[in-house]
Chains A and B, each alone.
Chain A
Amino acid sequence: MVMQVMRQGRFSGLIKFGFITLLVLGTFGLVLSDVRGVLTGGVSGSNVAAVGGETISLTSFDRTLNRTLPRIGISPQESYQLGYTQQLLNNEMRGYALQIAAKDIGIEVSRDQVAKQVASIINPIAGENGNKQEVLEQVLRAQGLTEPEFVAQVGRETASSLLTGALSNAIAPASGEMLEDLYLYENETRDVELIAFRHEDFKLEQEPDEAALKTAYEGLKENFAIPESRDVKLMVINDEALKAKVDVSEEELRRIYDEDKNAFVVQETRKVEQAILKEEIQAQEVAKLAEGGKALKEAVKDVTGDEKAYIGDIDFEKDATQAELRTVVFDGKNIGKVLPPTQTPLGYHVMIVKKITPPAMKPFSQVKSEIKKEQLEIKTSDQIYDLSATLDDLLAGGATMEEIQSQVPLKTNEFKGLRQTGQNEEGKDLLADFKDDASEIVQTAFGLLESETSPVLQLKDGRYAVLHVSAITPKTYKPYDDVKDELKTQTIASDKATQNRMLVKSLQEKLDKGETTFSALSEELKKPIKSLPGLKKQMDNTPEPLIPATLNLIFAQEKDQVFTLDIKDGLALIAVTKTALPEKADKKSTG
């Protein structure tokens, strides 16, 4: 999964390197791979794609893109042209499709499993003593993801990996004949001779004049479009102001404590040192060594050869412990005794109880602030809910913004020049503080008329808000004078490319008709014939001026026949002079 590779790529130079390789392969491999099952069109509004009931919004996809592209140093436009944007989107869609398929089949990833998966990503970075929460937050910041997004993504990828794992393990190995054919196919070598015609070298008879540039501008106008933008105000009910007014009395806190004493009981916990082994016999050997006085960690090492199965100390809370383990761990009060190996779906547990902390009741003084915090939150949210109803009534009654603000405490966030990507003209993410709601904000804001206010929305964090569109700047185009120089450079380059293509096409026709020869052309045009021996279908360094994207075409041509090939910054007339297949005996040494 590309997402997986990318995420982990942050932390591992090796994987990062792998990703770059993957991208290069992807960039050029893309043109050859078909995207099966995807239709275009038919997705409405600001969503870029839909799979089953799931949609991928432009804002969320744009974030994925912005997270990925800086690492490989290409712009969104270049990425779109290279087809990488579509490939990335397709990968996201594959992820969704696999997730739905996994769900259909009945693969569900529990929150526990997701938590373990997240831990396996975080733990190696945090180390033994690192603060895991902090590391998680750093990871999220670095990735530009929210925690729910990250968790959902890990869940999706875990389910998908299970499914793809099951699919790919059902494959029979390839036959010897097939390997031989494939080896021959992959390792064929060819020698070529070519005459290069670089676009840049083509001499134009005349540069485009003002009139030609203006015509080009009209034809390419869409390329200079400045998308519609809107000035939007997001007014959130100000809970800070409310919190200051709400209070809970000491008597009320005491009453809640007395009424709900069970909630403040701390259960018995036992600190348990444990090892989890795959085989029962190993578990018994480890238990025997530990009973004989050997440290558990050492015992695990002696039996299995390494310490992987040693888990270390963990606090078990009685009610939260798995039933199989609970009956063993919480039986009796033998501290330091090696408990009999116990089987769970994880394997055979060998455990030693190190410490017992008896159940206790938390005193009122200790939990008072906790109860108060909770009560304040409940009271504030009740009031906020009431205010949201008032706000709704005011909006329905046609109240002006001023009237609304006089009755409901609102905190205003202004987004000037908001585009459908959630960014402004400079590419700044205006909705950075509202990432969870960015998609809904954009969708709502672009569905309103100028001076219109939306109905009350509930944000993902529970707060209530309304959106007001104060101005709409319609789609415009950069004026001709601003883009003239850029346009001229581009037009000259494309004129040269077009005329160069026409020249090469006419030379190719002459060659086809037998009116000239390869060497006669070289002499006539004073262009040298370049020899490139030993070309292979897949090369780490494609020799100049050939390019990886068209290298394969050389292997689809007849020997000694001149044909036209796209090369770096131009075209070439090229002919295969020699083809060779490798000796079959080498096949095992291939890499």
Chain B
Amino acid sequence: MSLLKKVGDQEKNETVNTFVGLKMEQYGARINDGLLRQIYGRSLDSVEYEDTNPGFF
């Protein structure tokens, strides 16, 4: 992939993402995180986590 195409694709994605983001906000997009966690979030690993690299996330 040429660099030019890469930059072009990146900008296109950015534009589409911004548009979709705004639309999601306008339509009040909501996730039921409680239900997701209840159904799929059962594992030990998620409990033990210490962030040694603040700012990364």
Contacts and interface: CB of A to CB of B under 8 A. Distances in A.
A579 B11 CA distance: 28
Contact of A37 (B29, B32, B47, B52): B29
Interface string A163-183: 010011011011000110011
A179 B4 contact: yes
Interface string B16-45: 111111111111111111111111111111
B33 to A, nearest CB: 4
Nearest to A495: B48
Contact of B36 (A44, A86, A170): A86
A332 to B, nearest CB: 51
A195 interface: no
A215 interface: no
Interface string A81-115: 10001100110011001101100000000000000
A229 interface: no
A97 B24 contact: yes
Nearest to B21: A36
B30 A223 contact: no
Contacts of A51: 24, 27-30
B41 A182 contact: no
A444 to B, nearest CB: 17
B29 A31 contact: no
A519 interface: no
A463 B57 CA distance: 51
B24 A420 contact: no
Contacts of A565: 53
A590 interface: yes
Contacts of B18: 36
Contacts of A37: 20-26, 29
Nearest to B48: A494
B33 A97 contact: no
Interface in A7-62: 31, 36-44, 46-52, 58, 62
A222 interface: yes
Contacts of B43: 77-78, 80-81, 223
Contacts of B42: 77, 222-225
Contact of A497 (B7, B25, B37, B48): B48
A497 B4 CA distance: 44
A52 B44 contact: no
A566 interface: yes
Interface size class of B (residues with CB under 8 A): 35 or more
Contacts of A98: 20, 23
Contacts of B26: 37
Given A97-B24, A501-B50, A178 B29 contact: no
Contacts of B19: 101, 167
Given A50-B30, A179-B7, A85 B40 contact: yes
B40 A43 contact: no
A178 B15 CA distance: 17
B2 to A, nearest CB: 8
A321 interface: no
Contacts of A219: 47
B11 to A, nearest CB: 5
Contacts of B50: 498, 501
Nearest to A38: B29
A97 B20 contact: yes
A174 B11 CA distance: 8
Given A51-B29, A52-B27, A89 B12 contact: no
B52 to A, nearest CB: 6
Contacts of A498: 48, 50
A438 to B, nearest CB: 15
A18 B47 CA distance: 33
B31 A52 contact: no
A227 interface: yes
B3 A48 contact: no
A43 B30 contact: yes
A41 B34 contact: yes
A577 interface: no
B38 to A, nearest CB: 7
A380 interface: no
B31 A48 contact: yes
A48 B36 contact: yes
Contacts of A225: 42
Contact of B8 (A173, A227, A420): A173
Given A52-B27, A97-B23, A100-B23, A41 B32 contact: yes
A550 interface: yes
A564 interface: yes
A587 interface: yes
Interface string A413-437: 0000000110000000000000000
A220 B22 contact: no
Contacts of A224: 42
A590 B30 contact: no
A581 to B, nearest CB: 15
Nearest to A490: B44
Given A50-B28, A171-B11, A498-B48, 5 more contacts: A47-B35, A48-B31, A174-B8, A494-B47, A588-B3
14 contacts: A36-B17, A39-B28, A41-B31, A51-B27, A51-B28, A51-B29, A80-B37, A80-B43, A170-B15, A171-B8, A171-B15, A225-B42, A564-B53, A571-B52
The 3 closest A-B pairs by CB, nearest first: A36-B21, A37-B24, A168-B12
